A and B are shown apart, each in its own frame.
Chain A
Amino acid sequence: MNQKFKKRSKSGTLPIYIVLTVASILSLFPFYWMFVMATRPSAAYNSIPPTLLPGTKLVENFQKVLDTIPFFQAMWNTILLCSVVTALVLLISSLAGYAFAKFQFPGKNFLFICILLTMVIPPQLGLIPQYYLVSQLGWLDTLLGAGVLFLLNPLGIFLMRQYISESVPDELMEAAKLDGCSNFRIFYSIVLPIIKPAFATLGIIVFTLVWGEFLWQFTVLRDPSSYTLQVALASLNNAFRVDFGMLLSGVFWATVPLIVIFLIFNRWFISSITEGSIK
């Protein structure tokens, strides 16, 4: 009986493996195809049957990208933007999360509800005044202008409050207080080391959000020297006659760093999704 059951469940899994394999292939194919096209001349695109094997134009296509957009400048701009914004959001969120989790002050609940409401406001509602504000400050075409909007991250406070109230024991804080620690001292020598995992989660969420965001960066950054990767890539598609080999070479080289980081830290990436959305 037992053996029969085992046998049945094993043969029954074949269709499931087929479904999962097809899903994996469909998920990976655009990555592979992007690579193939990045190594082919644009004309390869017109061949029938379609080209599915890499060619020899990898370097040449990328050279064309470098001639068309300031690729490395844009890459640097993006990395700088993402890093600074992430660091600031971590600081702002953990401080506020610490306050909401561990301190009593009048109006606390009201302020926290305000933060929850902030999460519901769609970012486009304020787009025009935000653009106006940034232009009045002279921050158009600067990373300052591109980054300032991302400092507003209510989800970060929500996550940090949750994590701090669950993982930082009150006794530890009381003990530190009796030893004469100030609240800020407690924050950086007790709370910060404990919440490192939450930093990883929120850090990944913010970094990937800023890396991939388009509408705001596209609105604020008009000068090619200030382009971030997304805006620079999008501009590749605006030519009258688009060179597909070059276009996908740009996309490929802009995506490779992210894929490498993802493959190394994939567990953290995936858990950041569940923690970021479910808590």
Chain B
Amino acid sequence: MENVHKRQQAKTAPKASKLSDKTKDMISGYLYVAPFFIIFGLIGLYPAVFSIVLAFQEWNGLGEMDFVGLRNFGVVLQDPLFWKSLYNTVIIGLMGTAPQLIVGIILAYFLNLAVIRFTNFFRVTIFMPYITSMVAVALVFGVFFSSNETALANYVIGLFGLDPVSWKTSEWGAKIAISLMVFWRWVGYNTIIYLAGLQSIPKDLYEAATIDGANKVQQFMHITVPLLKPFIILTVFMSTVGALQLFAEPTVFLGSSAFSRDEAMTVVMYLYRDAFNLGSFGTASATAVLLLIIIIGAAAINTWLTSGVGRKKKRGV
């Protein structure tokens, strides 16, 4: 009733006031987005531009800046430790995220089956690792995978007849331990995203496929995977970006030796060490710019590859 009355008022409202309403709206609009853009300018845009400028300077954070052209990039690209850290980041990223996405899809598929009960219990427990902080995970796994011969991880692999590993100081030990903690913390998160994706697929598609004689595996490959594609692309994108930014887990896992050993040094750790342990802000900024390029490149390639996989499958149907 009230609404109708007001709408009638709207019709009779004079045109002049409408125009001033428009101006008012415009002012309000700018006013309301202003806080974000002021903050963005100060702590987003300005530092990003400053970083790119800094990549071409020599600077220790105190004195004058010296323009050195591309020299910082040369220094970084000729540093074997940079390449080692990039290699570490990629290996840990692959081992930590690729299995996670596959296991996530399988778990989500199971949780979405109508015949399965207690799904809420399973959902909550599988998701729970995500709420622990990266530092907490790294510390717990740090004790689990300590370098002691009696570490719980060594006991477990001993059951399978394997020799104890010095987890924090060996090339593959450190990488495997860190990949496992990344896997453990994020698999539930991805499961939840895939589950949301599965729930968006209409049930009658499966019913139709059953009637047409398609078995469960065929249904999974030809209905579930293609329709889940946007969600897979999303998780691949986020995992790629996240994996290349890995910092907290290896730093906390390795503790006091984090910046003096190279088995698990990641690109961000390399950058951090350059800037805050060695005081070389120029080369650290060059690394930051290189990392940005690597992240954009890897995210683009992985997203493109993932969407390609879906397309091929669709053609196969």
Contacts and interface: CB of A to CB of B under 8 A. Distances in A.
Interface of A: 9-10, 13, 16-17, 19-20, 23-24, 26-28, 30-31, 33-34, 37, 45-50, 91-93, 95-96, 98-100, 103-106, 108, 111, 114-115, 118, 120-133, 148-149, 151-152, 157, 171, 174-175, 177-179, 183-184, 187, 208, 211-212, 214-215, 218-219, 229-230, 233-234, 236-240, 242, 244, 247-248, 251, 254-255, 258-259, 262-263, 266, 269-270, 273-274, 277-278
Nearest to B5: A175
Contact of A23 (B26, B107, B196): B107
Given A125-B51, A251-B139, A258-B131, A23 B33 contact: no
B29 A278 contact: no
A132 B44 CA distance: 13
Given A129-B47, A270-B124, A273-B130, 15 more contacts: A23-B103, A30-B140, A37-B143, A104-B25, A120-B296, A122-B291, A124-B268, A126-B50, A126-B288, A237-B255, A248-B143, A269-B131, A273-B127, A273-B189, A278-B196
The interface centre, meaning the residue of B125, B150, B256, B281 with most chain A CB atoms within 10 A of its CB, is B125
12 contacts: A23-B107, A27-B125, A93-B36, A95-B32, A95-B35, A99-B29, A120-B296, A128-B288, A132-B61, A215-B248, A237-B255, A248-B139
Interface in B117-135: 121-135
A277 B238 contact: yes
Contact of B128 (A31, A130, A152): A31
B234 to A, nearest CB: 6
A251 B133 CA distance: 10
A20 B284 CA distance: 45
In this complex, the member of A31, A91, A125, A251 whose beta carbon has the largest number of chain B beta carbons within 10 angstroms is A125
Interface residues on B, range: 35 or more
A243 to B, nearest CB: 10
B227 interface: no
A121 B36 contact: no
Nearest to A98: B32
Contacts of B143: 37, 45, 244, 247-248
B144 A30 contact: yes
B289 A125 contact: yes
A202 to B, nearest CB: 14
Contacts of A114: 37, 40
B252 interface: yes
Contacts of A212: 132-135
Given A27-B188, A132-B61, A233-B139, A211 B150 contact: no
Interface in B5-44: 6-7, 9-10, 13, 21-22, 24-26, 28-33, 35-37, 39-40, 42-44
B102 to A, nearest CB: 13
A175 B3 contact: yes
B167 interface: no
Contacts of B192: 270, 273-274
A10 B114 CA distance: 11
B68 interface: no
A223 to B, nearest CB: 15
A215 B125 contact: no
Interface of B: 2-3, 6-7, 9-10, 13, 21-22, 24-26, 28-33, 35-37, 39-40, 42-44, 46-48, 50-51, 54, 61, 103, 106-107, 110-111, 113, 115-116, 121-137, 139-144, 146, 148, 150, 152, 155, 184, 188-189, 192-193, 196, 231, 234, 238, 241, 244-245, 247-248, 251-252, 255-256, 268, 271-272, 275-276, 281, 284-285, 288-289, 291-292, 295-296
B140 A248 contact: yes
Given A234-B252, A274-B193, A151 B140 contact: no
Contacts of A92: 35-36, 39
B184 A251 contact: no
Given A24-B122, A30-B129, A212-B134, A45 B150 contact: yes
Nearest to B189: A273
B255 A23 contact: no
Given A23-B122, A237-B252, A251-B139, A125 B133 contact: no
B135 A106 contact: no
A153 to B, nearest CB: 9
Contacts of B241: 122
B135 A128 contact: no
A236 B2 contact: no
B119 to A, nearest CB: 8
Given A50-B152, A96-B35, A237-B255, A269 B40 contact: no
A99 B33 contact: yes
Contact of B292 (A26, A45, A125, A239): A125
